[in-house]
Amino acid sequence: MFAIVGAAGKVGYATSSALRKADMPVRAILRDAEKAPRLEEIGCEVVLADLLDSKALARAISGADIVQVILPPSPLADDPASHNPQTTSTRCHLFTNPIRLA
């Protein structure tokens, strides 16, 4: 099972679509339920979880063999190369407070 965090995004959807075309099982992890139908149509299992909710995220990735998480720099950063997500992005919570999977 492949778990794709942000499966409704550009890279996440492309990954999910390619995996489904190869008949691989995909769990699409989304924050917004309104984006689920597009992924359900291609055969993804859809679960809702936010990166800021470590318990929900742990449940969402439970049993997955591979998890894809892509966290791009904030579009608000003046210089993405020098962007420090720990001070300017709430999404870094996943990495500053890692969840235990084992």
Rounded-to-10 torsion of CA 10, 69, 71, 17: 0
CATH superfamily of domain region 2-96: NAD(P)-binding Rossmann-like Domain (3.40.50.720)
Whole-prediction pTM value? 0.73
Report the DSSP pairing between strands 2-5 and 45-48: unpaired
- pLDDT digit string, tens, across residues 26-73: 999 999 999 999 999 999 999 999 888 989 999 999 999 999 998 776
